[in-house]
Amino acid sequence: MEFKNFLSKTKDGNDFATAYQEANSRKTSAEIINEARLAIKESQNIETNFASAAIKPLQTQRPFTPRDKERLLFGNKKPKADRPPSSFSLRYLQNETDLPVTPPDNRIFTTHVSKHPSTPKIDELKKYNRSNSLTELNGNIFNIGVKEPCKIRLPSLDNKPLQKRKIFNNTTSLDNLPEETEYKIDNPKLESRNAFSSPQEKTIFDQQPAFGRSSAKQANLSECLLLGPQNLTKIFDNRHIIEHSETLFTSTGYLTKQLLLHKQNDLNKRTHSILADGNEPVRTIDDILNDLNRTDPQNYNDETVKNLLEELYAFMEKEGMLNSKISSKLKIVILKSLYRFVESKNEQILINIAQIILVMKVTGNNLSGVCKLIFKIAKNDVNDNLFFRRNLLELFLDALGRSSPMDDAEACVYAYGALKFLTMNVKLLEKVLDLGILPLMVLHIKLINTAKIDKTPFHKQTDHVLFQLTGALRNLVSDEHVYDNFIFCGTIPQLCQALELFQNDADITANISRTLSTVSTNEVCCDSLVEIDTIYKTFIKLFNLYEENDEIIVRLAYTLGNIVAKIDDSRVKLFKEEKSIDCLLTLWTTYLERTLQLCSLKVENVSISNSSSEDVMIKVIRVIANIVINPDIGKAINEQYGSKLIDEFLKVLISNPFKKNQELVLSILSTLNNLSYYYSSDLELDVFHVKQIDIAEGIIEYTKSKSNDCIVETMRILGNLSRSKITRNYIAETDIFGNLVNLLTTAEPTLLKTTIGVFVNLMSDNRARKLFKSCGGVSKLISLLTKYCENDWLLGSLICQVLWNYCIDTVDLYELLTEEEIHQLLILLADYLDEEKLFGVDDSTEEMEVFVTQEYLIWEEFANVATNLLEKIEYFLDTFDQIQISVEDPAALQPSTRESGTNISFSAW
């Protein structure tokens, strides 16, 4: 009788009963039962079913990446010359906003520089936010759309001389706003305006210029303003014009009254006489900034500054300045006050400064500065709790969302660097995910990829942006709940495209490989990876490019192993990729030689069993083990590469340095099992037929391994090879047979099944039967049948198959079985074949649910084998007297001299 694989499942992993109930829900009960039985029999045929337990995907541990104790921008490796620094000073920001602001009324700057300059009235700055150009002034008043071809920079608040500042392309900041752009005049005497207060005259002030440059006489300005009452509103909004024009409106009493009334209203606004609780005056933003500016940045009380900063933020929040556009000049005044403390050692002060700056939605260099400030704080994990305050993370991510990885490269480098650090904190990771950081990161990757494809010039630091971004992304995918959103956002296609476009950048490649190795453990992510047609070609290129970089190779190989383990189509695509198998074998050889070299050098404190080289070997061989699950590929690899693979595997199995690495040994044994599954003893040219004794010799010691997993894989290989009489003879002649018998006492179900499966094949030979009897094998099998059969019908089927093959050619069972053993078998088999007792089934039972359950179907296969064995025993006992007569008359007995032809050569489980 042929051995069947009773626990095989359908290719999609569903149980047979369930699959057929779903597929045949409209058929009759008899049809469903018959088809279900037929399906399980076909699936158990080891010659046609290649998805059975005999050949299976090889699993392995994901490469481990220890976290750096220190948070660094580029890790502990030697930094490249063009990398942005991880440590820096923010002192330059103190001069970053050293830009002029038009002073309030009647404020004349002198050459004296105050140690603590007072702050201009903010209310006035907001109301009279004028340009320093009279051209723009007149345009505001008279709606004249004439622009000046050059811009004049305003004088500094602290009267420092103007210095030309380098302006970067594609960078917007408060340093180069239109009204602040520097313009150099070679000859001041030739300076002139292109637009005047009137077509005939220039505007000139007799007094010291109020707008930072020489002006025409007041009288001319006064005359140009006498154009009609329709412009009164705009005139009144320009106090400097009014107060510096002595002859203004002298002939109009009505206008004089209006002017006085306007001045009185303005005075009332500027005089804060409202008292809080009737006692103390209400503090304004002017008061807060004045207090900050009067504080000595070299010697101050941390608590005082922190309170002032919190008061400033509270005032801005109360006055609705958080979400409204703040004028550039007001920003400058606030920034100048804040930047005096950016070198503080107190993180509370720095986080307050960062929050206020982020509220003002700064751009350009100021954006880079605040991102550096956030990065500086995030470098220390002790400060993680500071980022839970109010809306700080929201403001930070909003600033990042307004940044371009090309135009604001420096800001994005430090922003994503900070995000990489913060996402190392599980709670902060959850928070940034809830805030929707993932879609933004994917968008930035897409922008970078598009610019690279279009060959659009961008800052060299954009590559560093992608490195920091992918580093932060790796932290995000440590949360499995993000995988659905990860797929929805199209992250995998963008990552794979970046992997291809930036394949020459080892840092970016390493980060992306880390992310892919993590998400590839998810089946949905694997499906998304398979849909990318170029993924296999990209991986092969990277294998060749980074052959010596084990950190990259081990993760890419692990990812590839996951893909081909789960999806058959991926196996075909990879195998068809040019020189894919050659590339894998090259990697294997490279790291095998490296490991052997380490062993020969006897390097101290180097753990060979856990070396990265061996880890690469494990991941690479796993790809081959999983790709040969496809029968066509498995046979093709055996034909093309089988001899080399077997030699390489045996080299490792017999080498002492590798024997201690259990995972590597297990990987090799599993790969040998998958490859030997396609061995056919009918083909003498088969590589496993040629090398079967070499293989048996190489794996013999692993039948006594301390690892049950290694023994199981060894048994599976022996099960495949023992289809050949050559291997069966070798087992019978060596210690392997005794080791197999000893394993029958184990309690591990899988190990029992694989070991008994080998005996199914061995019982084809008379020599093995005699050894089995002498070793007490029958009694061990009966003991197992008694102990486990009712709870494991598959195990019972295998035991019955061994016993059937054991006694199939014997007329007198007493030659092989004792009377007690025969009696025990009669009782056990009769009990286990009682269908009514086990399932409540009798001749009147018609319920389909009973007959299509998995347990019943497996039991039914057990019953087929057990019934034959029981009938043989009963027939022997019924004819025992006749057998005795035949024994006394040898001529009446025709002894069998043939080997059993009923055994189908057991394939490994």
Residues 186-226: pLDDT tens digits? 443 333 334 333 334 443 434 443 333 444 444 443 344 44
**Per-residue pLDDT at 731:** 95
Gap between the Cα atoms of 44 and 8, Å rounded: 6
Cβ atoms within 10 Å of 514's Cβ, excluding its own: 21
**Per-residue pLDDT at 107:** 35
**Per-residue pLDDT at 646:** 96
Residue ranges in the chain whose pLDDT is less than 50: 1-26, 29, 40-53, 78, 97-278, 604-610, 892-909
**Per-residue pLDDT at 852:** 65
Largest CA distance in the chain: 157
**Per-residue pLDDT at 476:** 93
Token duo for residue 23:
């597929």
Gap between the Cα atoms of 272 and 291, Å rounded: 17
H or E segment and range at residue 256 = helix 253-270
Measured on CA atoms in the order 803, 809, 811, 814, is the torsion positive or negative?
negative
Gap between the Cα atoms of 879 and 861, Å rounded: 28
**Per-residue pLDDT at 758:** 95
CA distances (Å), origin 173, targets 176, 206, 331, 339, 670: 6, 35, 11, 15, 62
**pLDDT tens, 616-653?**
999 999 999 999 999 999 999 999 999 999 999 999 99
Strand-pairing partners, residue 276, are: 280
**Per-residue pLDDT at 846:** 57
**Per-residue pLDDT at 329:** 83
Local structure of residue 118 (DSSP, 8 states): P
Contact 139, 148 (CB under 8 A): no
Gap between the Cα atoms of 863 and 36, Å rounded: 17
**Per-residue pLDDT at 629:** 94
**Per-residue pLDDT at 64:** 60
**Per-residue pLDDT at 634:** 94
**Per-residue pLDDT at 860:** 86
**Per-residue pLDDT at 516:** 95
